[in-house]
Amino acid sequence: MHREIHQWYSPGLHKNMEIAVYGHYGPALLMFPTAAADYLEYERFQLIDAIAEYINGGKVKAFSINSINNESWLNHSMQQHHKAIRHQQYNDYVVNEVVPFIHDHCKSLVPIITTGASLGALHALNLFFRKPDIFSGTIAMSGDYNLQSYTKGYYDDNVFFNSPEQYIPGITDHDYLEQMRRGKIVIATGQGDYEKPDASRRLSEILHSKSIPHWLDVWGYDMPHDWQTWRAMLPYFLGKV
């Protein structure tokens, strides 16, 4: 498998940010790490190996980026207001720096599908719904789509507008909704240990209320909030979308 590591100093985040690229060509799969993990997490836990046939066959070209969750909601020494600002800075980094990098690396405006597990699922799905004109879909696995699950009660505009469960119900703009409806949306969850299937069900009900087509797939009680679940899910959905 072709593999490259890139990094640059992000002017938006004021730090070096790395990205791993897997494959030569194909639609882009933008991968967000779980929790406080890094850009090589999906490689370490064999998720890249699990989707190798899609990468090697040119069906996707994977871009696994770094997180800064330990500089926002997972940093217990920061003020909540600053955590919310840092989260929004990360969104801007993805849109203003990562997306242009992907298009430049692919030498074309390839479609970009976001994906992630756990906290990475929130980032992946949130960025699709905030920017459906930029991203063409999302595969969100084992996520909780209300950011207040991480904020310890703190609430402001940055929290609201990064919580799909909260801001999607209020969207009425026809063109914005039509862009969402054109996306390929997968919301997947297990029902095993530490999973929160009701979070996915709540989001699905909201999307139904907005007539946004999507695929809610609730797997069994033998599928915990862990890597064996996500190694099974991601290749399965890549073969379907």
Segment 127-131 mean pLDDT: 98
Eight-state DSSP code of residue 58:
T
CB 59 within 8 A of CB 26: yes
State pTM to two decimals. Answer: 0.96
Supply the pLDDT for residue 190. 98
Q: What is the pLDDT of residues 71-114, one digit of tens each?
A: 999 998 889 999 999 999 999 999 999 999 999 999 999 999 99
Q: Is there a contact between 180 and 132 (Cβ–Cβ < 8 Å)?
A: yes
Amino acid 103: pLDDT: 98
Q: Of 51-55, 146-150, 181-185, 217-221, which gets the smallest average pLDDT?
A: 146-150
123's tokens: 């980032």
* pLDDT tens figures, 148-163: 988 988 999 999 999 9
- CA gyration radius, the chain: 17
Mean pLDDT along residues 111-137: 98
pLDDT (average), residues 217-233? 98
Q: How is domain 3-238 classified at the architecture level of CATH?
A: 3-Layer(aba) Sandwich (3.40)
Handedness of CA 43, 112, 213, 147 (dihedral sign): positive
Check residue 241 and give its pLDDT.
85
pLDDT tens, residue by residue, 169-218? 999 999 999 999 999 999 999 999 999 999 999 999 999 999 999 999 99
